[in-house]
Chains A and B, each alone.
Chain A
Amino acid sequence: MSSRTLWRSLHLASRRRVALTETSYRCFSCSRQSLADPKSDHERMTHFGFSNVPESKKESMVGHVFSSVASSYDTMNDLMSLGIHRLWKDHFVRSLDPGSALPSRDGDNAGKGWNILDIAGGTGDIAFRMLDHATNINHDHNTRVTIADINAEMLAEGKKRSIETPYYNTDRLSFMQGNAEHMPSIPDNSVDLYTVVFGIRNFTDKQAALVEAHRVLKPGGVFACMEFSKVDNALFNAVYKNWSFSAIPLIGQLVAGDRESYQYLVESIEKFPSQEEFRGMIQKAGFMIPGRGFENLTGGIAAIHKGIKPLTKA
């Protein structure tokens, strides 16, 4: 008798478990479920935050996210990172030291000034920093930046801001709308420095973008990328994860009136490969890795990755 009740309770328990898996409960991203279309089997899938979407769809979904955050982009960044993102960006630009401090000599491969391509730099905060650094620190008035972004609204925001900089309407600053995985308008071996700051996370095919970066860079040119990454300290990681999954969507809701986009933001950070994996991807695209290949910022919340295109042996 008692064995029968035991069997029954076990049986029920197993049944309950089966029922749980059917609904595929995901604790952080219930809001995303409605966005995810029913999958079509024959199309390749990629992740959009925690949900899987067809590759063809991700671009427009990311586009939607950034269109909706473009206007409040800076305020939100300040609130979410407690202002630290400005320090990161300053450090990033300072470590790259854009602009030639030395006058170019005869027979140098390097032309006058650097040709910088800032991918996913719609609002221009990296581009303006680099131009400021080149002008004020290295006294180089020839270095020029092309800001490329897939999203017209982010570019419009950057154009609006550029009016207040001394580079507005000069040949040192230009804007270009395009997909970083395929940029036919940029010739091979033409770029000194390729930067992508907090952008590569949103690319549909990161490896393709890296290969494209390798194509447009001159031999000896540098690929530099700053992106959210993995925190190495378990205790700090717990605090950070709590902050990013509870506070950031809430701040997004209160300030920008858009919880969904910021929910996507934190999920996409979670999905991005670790420092070591991403370094492997950069190497796979054909870059040389300087030293360890990445530099952790604030315990690994963000990381700067660099790769150098090797000289072709003549």
Chain B
Amino acid sequence: MARPLLRPLRSCRNPLVYPLFCAPRISLIPATSAIPNQHNQLRRLSRDLPSHHRRLYHSQHHPDPPPHEYTNSQTTILTAALKHVPTHGFTRAALTLGARDTGFLDVSIQLLPRGEFDLILFWLASRRGLLRAAVEQNGLLKSPDSNLVSVEEKTIKLIMERLRMNTEINHQWQDALALMSLPSHIPLSLSELHALSSDILHLAGDASVDASWYTKRLSVSAIYASAEVVMTRDSSPDLAATEAFVTRRIEDSKAIGDKLTGVKQCLGFMGSTAVGLGRSWGLKI
């Protein structure tokens, strides 16, 4: 049954002819043959997924990577150690106490080759995972009282949500920032920052596919990092000062973006005018 129906496809090897004459026929071929079956599946997949799960540059066929790459024993020690961070800071003492709490020995913190920096990385990665869970499972951005529409508003909401997670360890965070800015730690700190800004933008529903993909992540990274520093000095109730700071910075970056687009557009017009003018004078351009 499939054979005679597939035959017309063979005459369509020419790529120029194929879309013109053969493309409509594909829909006529029943779903038993292999090629259209795949087409249908793909179409169904993209149709069935709710728009919320539409993740650009994220594979739909693979599960989300875990937010960190620590093994079970490492995670056990680190999770227990996080409870001691408010009192002991991001130090070896917190790690040691975490190891003791979970039945390990003092020496077992050798399991974490980077020591206290591992504790910071684990904090960052696990909070990032929590942020993702808050949006995807608890519907953080879907609450009825909030009427968040634009990507910017959602971004502010997400940045503030992430910063609020730091509240309990706010007094220790300056030390952690200092540790993260050591030359040997900078690459990992930056990649974690990029992962966070990428997650925030993705969760906020940003769908850019051009160079602004990079600039947006860069600006969100910069805003988040500076907001963290502001927050360590913030004593206002419910982080009002930090929130105002973040809102201003987002507005700034939007204003700068708009200005840049305007300048680019203006330069483009002027360029094409100049080219048109030259051509009308007989220049060969």
Q: Which residues of A contact B (CB under 8 A)?
A: 96-98, 100-102, 105, 108-110, 114, 192-193, 218-222, 224, 288, 290-292, 295, 306, 308, 310-311
Contacts and interface: CB of A to CB of B under 8 A. Distances in A.
Contacts of B99: 220
Interface of B: 71, 73-74, 92-93, 96-97, 99-100, 103-108, 110-114
Contact of B96 (A100, A221, A306): A100
23 contacts: A98-B107, A101-B96, A102-B93, A109-B100, A109-B103, A109-B104, A110-B100, A110-B106, A114-B105, A114-B106, A192-B105, A192-B107, A219-B103, A220-B99, A220-B108, A224-B110, A290-B110, A290-B111, A295-B113, A308-B73, A308-B110, A310-B73, A311-B103
B113 A193 contact: no
A156 to B, nearest CB: 29
A224 B112 CA distance: 14
A222 B109 CA distance: 9
Contacts of B74: 290
A106 B179 CA distance: 32
Contacts of B114: 291
Contacts of A288: 71, 73, 111
Contact of B107 (A102, A220, A295): A220
A114 B106 CA distance: 8
A283 to B, nearest CB: 13
A193 B96 contact: no
Given A100-B106, A110-B105, A308 B111 contact: yes
A310 B112 CA distance: 14
A224 B107 CA distance: 11
Nearest to B99: A220
B113 A221 contact: no
Give the interface centre of B92, B93, B99, B110 by most chain A CB atoms within 10 Å: B110
Contact of A102 (B73, B97, B104): B97
B73 A311 contact: yes
A105 to B, nearest CB: 7
Contact of A220 (B71, B92, B104, B113): B104
A268 B71 CA distance: 35
Given A97-B92, A108-B100, A290-B112, A192 B106 contact: yes
B103 A101 contact: no
A132 B242 CA distance: 47
A218 B73 CA distance: 15
A222 B104 contact: no
Give the interface centre of A192, A218, A222, A306 by most chain B CB atoms within 10 Å: A222
A311 B103 CA distance: 8
Contacts of B71: 288
A228 B238 CA distance: 56
Nearest to B110: A222
A2 B48 CA distance: 83
Nearest to B100: A108
A306 B109 CA distance: 11
Contacts of A310: 73
Contact of B105 (A109, A290, A292, A306): A109
